[in-house]
Amino acid sequence: MDRSLRITGKRPGPELLVLGGVHGDEYEPIQAIRQLADRVDPAKLSGQLLLIPIANGPAFESHQRGGPDGLDLARTFPCSHAASQHARGTVTQRIAERLATRIAACDFLIDLHTGGRAMTIWPLTGYMLCKSPDVLDTQRRMARAFGLPLIWGTSPQLEGRSLSVARDAGKPAIYAEWGGGSGCDPAGVTAYVEGCLNVMSELNMYAARTLVATSQTMVEDPRDGSGHLQSNYPAPHAGFYQPAQPLGQIIQPGALLGTIWFNWDEPVTEVRATGGGLLILNRTLPAVRAGDALATILEIDQASSSSGDAPTPADPLSPPGTQS
Ligand SMILES: [Zn+2]
């Protein structure tokens, strides 16, 4: 049972799969998919919309990012669907197997995320820099149309993701990140509903485009490991973390990213940037263990970025089209 809803349009066309709740503590995607179902008029739809708002039921029910077996669904998708043993595996592996079948059968995929309870993420749309020029071109069009301020093309070598399954099946796929925290921000929900409608319009599946982004920055980085949101700035020790910079800030090397303190008789630990770029992830849950991700800084190479200005630091989590 994955709580899926299929909306069939009046006219024939492709199938777009929209996933939410791959991580169980990310709430804007779930509500956005619910609202998207209410917004879409089948009379104006060409093709089919397959909506799965809570892809990872056991994680959602336990208020956790991952499943009760300790696995992260977004790292568990089978790398070779045909040869996978996941159908006889743990609960998360079985969910990954079922979803992989859905992904391989669709024509386009959008996978919606947030930073979850522990992180907040600058609004971005990402895709893998896959080898097929046609698939890559479609992914770029989908990402631009989605309308968030940052577009991030990353390594095609990332495995275990919904996007890995789509890559192996030759299906264009994007994912999105917007904010985070334990609540459900209506601005994020709106950004996601509008983003999905805009992509449907771009794919000629739906009549009207709703919003046009004012400014987008595109970064494409094919290096191995690019696209890992959790690989930068691990906490050097446990304690209480407080970020010092707002999301969307352009960071210079050496800048203070945040502080950790633990004992009265020990000095406060400063976490400083080792490189420069755009701050796209902040840890917002103050309690940290050693190794927890604290921040991600995205190198912005002006040669590889296009379509406009750097994002504005002010109010990073306002909906697209309202950036000041
Ligand atoms: Zn996620």
CATH code at position 280: 2.40.50.100
pLDDT tens, position by position, 214-250? 678 999 988 877 777 666 899 999 999 999 999 999 9
47: in domain: yes
Percentage with pLDDT > 90 across the chain: 78
324: in domain: no
CA–centroid distance, 277 to ligand 1, in Å, is: 22
**Whether residue 284 has pLDDT greater than 90:** yes
The pLDDT value recorded for residue 171 is 98
**Whether residue 324 has pLDDT greater than 70:** no
Q: How many C-beta atoms surround the C-beta of residue 151 within 10 A? A: 26
Domain that holds residue 281: 239-298
CA–centroid distance, 88 to ligand 1, in Å, is: 25
The pLDDT value recorded for residue 320 is 39
Locate tokens 């917004």: which residue?
39
**Whether residue 143 has pLDDT greater than 70:** yes
Percentage with pLDDT > 70 across the chain: 87
The pLDDT value recorded for residue 216 is 86
pLDDT tens, position by position, 177-216? 999 998 999 999 999 999 999 999 999 999 876 665 667 8
> Does residue 317 contact residue 188 with C-beta atoms inside 8 Å?
yes
DSSP state of 36: H
**Whether residue 316 has pLDDT greater than 50:** no
Which of 220, 226, 213, 221 is CA-nearest to residue 308?
213
CA–centroid distance, 177 to ligand 1, in Å, is: 8
**Whether residue 305 has pLDDT greater than 50:** no
The Cα 306–Cα 284 span in angstroms is 30
**Whether residue 81 has pLDDT greater than 80:** no
- Strand pairing class (119-128; 277-283): antiparallel
Number of domains observed in the structure of the chain: 2
CA–centroid distance, 180 to ligand 1, in Å, is: 9
The Cα 177–Cα 36 span in angstroms is 17
Check whether residue 22 and residue 118 sit in a common domain. yes
CA–centroid distance, 123 to ligand 1, in Å, is: 13
Which of 70, 69, 68, 73 is CA-nearest to residue 21?
73
Check whether residue 19 and residue 153 sit in a common domain. yes
80: in domain: yes
**What's this model's pTM, rounded to 2 decimal places?**
0.91
More confident residue, 281 or 306: 281
Check whether residue 27 and residue 161 sit in a common domain. yes
> Residues 104-112: what's their mean pLDDT?
98
> Does residue 200 contact residue 37 with C-beta atoms inside 8 Å?
no
More confident residue, 265 or 47: 47
The Cα 147–Cα 163 span in angstroms is 19
**Whether residue 84 has pLDDT greater than 90:** no
Check whether residue 270 and residue 156 sit in a common domain. no
**Whether residue 322 has pLDDT greater than 80:** no
The pLDDT value recorded for residue 176 is 98
Strand 239-243: give its sheet, edge to edge.
269-272, 256-261, 239-243, 287-288
141: in domain: yes
Check whether residue 199 and residue 270 sit in a common domain. no
The pLDDT value recorded for residue 304 is 47
Check whether residue 21 and residue 136 sit in a common domain. yes
Element (H, E) at 98: helix 91-105
The pLDDT value recorded for residue 224 is 77
DSSP state of 50: E
CA–centroid distance, 113 to ligand 1, in Å, is: 4
